[in-house]
Amino acid sequence: MDYRKEMQICIDYIEVNIKEDILAEELADRIGFSQKHFYRLFKTSVGMPVMEYIRRRKLAHAIYDLMLGRRVLDIAVEYGFDTHNGFAKAFKKYYGSSPQNYKSHAVCILPRPVNLLNQSNNYKIFGGIIMEPKIINKPAFKIAGYAIKTDAAKSTKDCPALWDVHNIEDWEEKLYKLLQPEKHGEYGVCIENNMERGEFVYLIGIEVDDFTKTTNDMYKAEIPNAEYAVFTTSPVTDAEFSKNIQSTWHYILEEWVPNSGYVWDECKPDFEFYDERCHGETNKMMEIYVPVMKK
């Protein structure tokens, strides 16, 4: 017998009543199953115990509300976490990063619940390529360029706007001409994170050996040695490039980090790297570097 329809009834009920205190026994009664049978079927169908799934959906809704600008304490209480710290601990246990760090990288969308009747959509596949990162240790290096101070609420607009200015004013040519780096490639780096206020500096720059050739209007940063999970986006057209980067970030935050055996090393900066592979109209690719450490 295919039990997916019965399990989907429970999943849909959880979604509609996500702010309530939902009991597994109540769900089992709704579809006429014994508790033992229901527990086993839910875990087999969804891939996790029912109460873990409920908690993860509460966290997903909570972080979405947080990105809309609501107070953390109000959200924590509304979704049953009692305290700010309880919410933060539960969030980090699942997502591998703090709510503030997640908020500064994620697109403001509510992750979809499981749909057992339509499982074709898989975050792990982009352009037919299974996304598995390389784990590397990258030595410390220096970056010089131009930066903007922003916060998690404004970053989805501020960071792309800075890239627009970068392209319009041809900062790339200016940086290469003045600094004459040995390597080609532009970095988009999140640095000087203030987790309490959700603020950070976003820097667009290039790698340099030292800062002797920099000008006063340039922002300078030293990126420390760190272990990184490096994700390479799948080759797409220019029109699909921005959306593909967002999808990759979504996969990193929602799928890879929570299930990887790593946590986000929030003491180190993450960054995007763009080289000659992102030039042209087709087969555009780039890399995302996420600082990680073993759980």
Say how many C-beta atoms besides its own lie within 10 A of residue 224's C-beta.
Answer: 12
Distance, CA of 15 to CA of 58 (rounded, Å): 9
Per the structure block, which two tokens stand in for 241? 């490039």
Cα–Cα distance, 138 to 169 (Å, whole number): 31
Number of continuous H segments (helices) and E segments (strands) in the chain: 11, 11
Q: Give me the domains of the chain, ranges plus CATH numbers.
A: 4-95 (1.10.10.60), 130-294 (3.20.80.10)
d(CA 77, CA 246): 30
pTM: 0.71
- pLDDT, position 126: 44
Q: In terms of C-beta density within 10 A (0-12 exposed, 13-18 middle, 19 or more buried), how is residue 85 classed?
A: exposed
What local confidence, expressed as pLDDT, does residue 211 receive? Answer: 95
Whether 279 contacts 158, CB under 8 Å: no
Task: Look at residues 33, 22, 105, 32 and name the one whose alpha carbon lies nearest to residue 58.
Answer: 22
Residue 131: the pLDDT is: 65
* Tokens linked to 293: 């450490």
- Closest by CA to 252, choosing from 129, 100, 97, 119, is 97
Question: What's the one-letter identity of residue 241?
Answer: F
Share of the chain above pLDDT 70, in %: 92
Measured from the Cβ of residue 144, the count of other Cβ atoms closer than 10 Å reads: 22
Beta bridge partners of 150: 200
What is the largest distance, in Å, between two alpha-carbon atoms of the chain?
Answer: 73
Q: What is d(CA 291, CA 133) in angstroms, rounded to the nearest whole number? A: 12
Which residues of the chain, if any, have pLDDT below 50? 120-130
